[in-house]
Structure 1
Amino acid sequence: MASTTTTATFLAVFLLVASSASPARSCAPSDLHALLSVKQALGNPATLSSWSPASHDCCAWDHLRCDDAGRVNNVFIDGADDVRGQIPSAVAGLTALMSLTLFRLPGLTGAIPPCLTALSNLQFLTISHTNVSGAIPESLARLRSLDSVDLSNNRLTGCIPAAFADLPNLRSLDLRHNQLTGPIPAGLVQGQFRSLVLSYNQLTGPIPRDEAQDEINTVDLSHNKLTGDASHLFVAGRPIGKVDLSWNLLDFDLSKLVFPPELTYLDLSHNRIRGTVPVSLERMSTLQKLDLSFNYLCGPLPKGHGVIKHGCKPYAHNQCSHGTPLAGCQDLS
């Protein structure tokens, strides 16, 4: 599922940048020089065979696109086993770059270079499914035009840079499947996000409180070590589509929570959530995925279709410690 989402994002970025480009023109000499240096630093892979000094029009090369002025504005290298080495510092020479995609490159290693901050026009950054390691550079937050950052499925360690919360245009942040530690920075769970995915890390502490009312599509903080109250994510009047907080250590009362009617995916399983199943679930006609299992919920289930239509599995394995055990669904275990 993660690969499908990442591939869809990549295609969307590719079409966006490509749609604004006119037929290839002779590229800028500085871009040509930078691209040849990048190729050399990556071991002269056959994947980049079209990147040749024999062809002076780099806008006709594979794995890139140019803008109307002949400047390289999109580089996408993906699915190549012959790419070897670290992210080349020569990438910083592509100063008109709007989109950089390094995807499914197992031979890509080393740290994310701070020289990427030279790409002041960068809007879309994807470094995903590689063996890149080390900390996420705080300096990336200097790229004020960033709209989407995907650093998923790598070997990144350390904390999430607090300065990411200050990026004015960032709408999508995907850091899943790394080894990140520490808390979620205050202000990061902001209404400006359309998608915030931090799952499969080792993040600790509470989910920062945010009272923003803007629409957000996806919040996935699952498979971490988060604690405390997450009910503020469902503040009244804030539309939200998917929430996955499963496999954490969250502890709060679910009883009076009012879920937004736009919710299509809700997974709160494998936590320490208590109380009763809220009546607001009865009205959730759009909810396609529900899992409240492996918590400490008590009392009878609401009778509405929005609760029962999901069957018994979403309510299973709840260990009620104070009150009447969860009941109302046949074969509930």
Structure 2
Amino acid sequence: MSIRVLIVDDSATIRSLIRISLARDPEIEVVGEAGDPLEARAAIKTLNPDVITLDVEMPNMNGIEFLEKIMRLRPMPVIMLSTLTQSGAAITMQALELGAVDCIGKPDFDSLPEKIRGASQARVRPLTERSVARPAENYRPGGKLLAIGSSTGGVEALITMLSCFPANCPPTVITQHMPATFTPSFAARLNRLCKPTVEEARHGAPLDEGRVYVAPGGVAHLTVQGGSHPQCVLTEGDPVNGHRPSVDVLFESVAAAFGARAVGVILTGMGRDGASGLRVMREQGARTLGEDEASCVVYGMPRVAFEIGAVEHQVSLSHIGAAALELCSAVARRIA
């Protein structure tokens, strides 16, 4: 069966470009278009699409307001379309936090068919089912590095995970698959919501306690350097597993630089990026966790990692932050 898509955008030109992009994929069928949220609401009831592409800015009701109504009343996979501007990126981050499964910048729709396929596999939860944990108290870091990889659904997952992190959390590096324009806004959003200092990674940034670094989207791979002055290293190179930055590249560098002094976590995402790198980490003595199937938006990357023996324990999203902190703690206990 084909994946049924509803295009929601006030620009007829953009709707046409999206339709042309999706027509190249025989597994995808555009079942309808809507020029504003009011038309879209009627189309959803009539057409029952599998995935919606939704413009951030539209007349009558903006995309964020409409998305919130969808996620409360009829949760379904939504991909946000945004202009490649700072304000557009900030609004897109809000949409991803509300439960949109992915985003793409106008007018580059080459990756949209793949994102549609990933979104069609997503498990979308109502807003009322989501919760944010309290930061850990009296936390004692144990000198370990924490590395996290995520993709589709990762914005919400990372917010949930990092919300329990204390101000003195382990040094943390994150590769989240995301367009280049959006990662500065995402890091800034995490910094406002979480206790640690969160920022987009820069070359030479120190890996200190209380600091979290998000890989810049699209421009380089995030790796790490150990030794007496551990730091972030941004490296040029071709995409790996179709991604730059790649989770595999990050995890493999962590394995080489930190070995058993690291903890790896793989969260929701389509595909297999990060699975082999996490296995290398485990082979080098690192502790490893994977998000479980029930809590994943897309159980792709964690599934592959688990199947190849890279994941030591599978943990639900609501508990994986606390579990990772425990493994990095100076008083870590065995996680069963």
The question of a shared fold, defined as TM-score above 0.5 by the shorter chain, is answered with no
Structure that is richer in helix per residue: 2
TM-score, scaled relative to structure 1: 0.30
**Greater length-normalized contact order (CA 8 Å, ≥ 6 residues apart):** 2
TM-score, scaled relative to structure 2: 0.30
